[in-house]
Amino acid sequence: MPDDSGLRAEDLVFRAGLSTRGTGDDDDPPAVTRLAAYGVIVRDGRMLLCRVAPGNLGEGLWTLPGGGLDFGEAPDAGALREVEEETGLLAEIRGAPVVHSDTGIWHRRSGSVRYHHVRFVYPMAVVGGEERLEVDGSTDAFEWVPLEAVAELPLGDLVTRVLEAGREAGREAER
């Protein structure tokens, strides 16, 4: 279906660039590296977003469809798998990913954990499947949200970065 929003998933992803944000914190909590992959899918001026389920880090926030990679899984395969798991939709990747690399501290009920989170974000388009909710997973809802309404939701940082990248792409196009 055509995207009449003026923004393409490719613009939102490619302009985000490489992101590194470090905390510089050298305390002793355990350390973990998490690899994850996500899709930016925009159709008819609406962005596909998923809500993080209760009991998961970031519960209640809206994020891109995606999540953690299985051991040995390629990022592109993981992104496509996650989109299908969380929404029932089949997608295809439409360009190279933007990689976000962040460090910090996750404060969890079981104790703090230092993290290095590496996220691959791919521009995608839906090519099939049937919409359905994930059962007993990390998300409990998904919606096609009008681009102009996305910022009104409680958002995970990845969506905020994608929106900022899209606004920057629009400013550059006007120059």
Mean per-residue pLDDT, 30-57 = 95
**pLDDT at position 170, please?**
65
User: Residue 33 pLDDT > 90, yes or no?
Assistant: yes
**pLDDT at position 36, please?**
97
The structure tokens listed for 8 are: 């393409």
Mean per-residue pLDDT, 40-46 = 96
The pTM assigned to this predicted structure is 0.81
Lowest-pLDDT choice from 18-32, 61-75, 114-128, 137-151: 18-32
Domain spans of the chain, in order of start: 9-169
Give the C-alpha separation, 45 to 98, whole Å.
21
CATH topology of domain 9-169: Nucleoside Triphosphate Pyrophosphohydrolase (3.90.79)
Helix and strand counts by DSSP (H, E) for the chain? 4, 9
Band of pLDDT at residue 166, cut at 50, 70 and 90: confident
The structure tokens listed for 41 are: 């899918």
Give the C-alpha separation, 1 to 126, whole Å.
9
Mean per-residue pLDDT, 97-110 = 89
For residues 89 and 131, is the Cβ–Cβ distance under 8 A? yes
Burial call 82-120: b when 16+ CB within 10 Å, e when fewer: bbbbbbebebebbeebbbbebbeeeeeeeeebbbebbbb
Which among 38, 36, 139 has a CA at the least distance from the CA of 80?
38
